Amino acid sequence: MGLYKENPRYKCVSARLSDDEWEDLMIVCGQKRTSMSECIREALTALLMENGLRGERAETAG
């Protein structure tokens, strides 16, 4: 991952992708007909659930 930039309205992340990774991301977004941001959000959610981190974060936040 790259840079993290604080913004009052949005959290922005910058990442460097290889040409192959970029093409894969564009294919997935095109097939799902969703924005790149939405594809990345779905991937992050899937990784969190796969690794059981979603529940841990909720427990530590409270």
What's the pLDDT tens digit per position in 8-56? 677 777 888 899 999 998 998 898 888 888 888 888 888 888 888 765 5
Helix residue spans in 1-62 (DSSP H): 19-32, 36-50, 53-61
Structural domain of 51:
4-61
User: Can you tell me the distance from the alpha carbon of 61 to that of 55, in angstroms, rounded to the nearest whole number?
Assistant: 10
Predicted pLDDT at 18: 94
User: For residue 57, with 0-12 CB atoms within 10 Å meaning exposed, 13-18 middle and 19 or more buried, which class applies?
Assistant: exposed
Quote the number of domains for the chain: 1
| Count of Cβ atoms closer than 10 Å to residue 25 Cβ | 16
